Structure 1
Amino acid sequence: MRMVLALGAILLLAAAPPGRPLSVALPDADGPLPERYGVSSVAVNANCLACHSAGMITAQPRLTRVQWGETITKMRAVYGAPINPADDAAILDWLVAD
């Protein structure tokens, strides 16, 4: 996601009229995610923040544990996300905590 934003910023800068500087504000990383309802955020911070901002993660719709598991599998298989399989349960615990 950050790579797409950076590429978009580069393309905007390249398209700027000569002599007129163009500024682009990229989203802030938001920092690490907090513990959620007593569930540690260590695994989420270690695996998910490499590609997603904390704001993006917390803005996602509520999904079931099975749906989040499918999402983690998709990110790993389709997008090549380096998510440690040993962290899957801890990530899922945090994502569905309420």
Structure 2
Amino acid sequence: MKMKLLISALLLSTSALFAQVAKPIETPYVDYPIEAGDHDEVAQQYCLICHSFGYVLNQGKKSRPYWTGTVQKMVNEFKAPIPKEDQQTIINYLVKHYGYEVQSGQH
């Protein structure tokens, strides 16, 4: 009896895997324009390994300390393979195109 219940439960739980969709599913394409110049190829080379550039754009305009911390988090916590010499290049690119410099006295 237990075996029949187990088989029934297994069949019911896997039946959704074999369901068919009547029409094709279309995934929308979203273009995330990347600002060219200032070593954008370095940012693309390393950032796009793990996520789309939309992730960068969705952050909004952020300060140099924010982008510095973000790049450091990617390297230290998420183990992004970004060489030390390219980290500052990426930070400079992000600040110039997707951020701002903090003036003294600002937070």
Under TM normalisation by the shorter chain, which class is it?
Answer: 0.5 to 0.7
Q: What is aligned with 1:33? A: 34
Structure 1 pair 15–57 and aligned structure 2 pair: CA distance change class (3 A): farther
Count of residues in Structure 1 that have an aligned counterpart in Structure 2: 83
Alignment of 1:1-80 (within 5 A): 17-21=16-20, 33-35=34-36, 38-80=37-79
Aligned partners of 2:80 and 2:15: how far apart in 1?
A: 33
Q: Which amino acid aligns with 1:49?
A: L
Unaligned 5+ runs, structure 1: 1-13
Secondary structure at the counterpart of residue 39 of structure 1: coil
Secondary structure at the counterpart of residue 79 of structure 1: coil
- Taking structure 2 as the reference length, what is the TM-score of the superposition? 0.59
Task: Please report the RMSD computed on the Cα atoms of aligned residues, expressed in angstroms.
Answer: 3.2
- Taking structure 1 as the reference length, what is the TM-score of the superposition? 0.63
The answer on whether the counterparts of 1:32 and 1:45 sit within 8 Å (CA) in structure 2 is no
Q: Could you tell me the percent identity over the aligned residues?
A: 28
Q: Describe the superposition over 1:31-61 as per-residue Cα deviations: whole angstroms up to 9, x where unpaired.
A: 88341xx423011011100001022222212
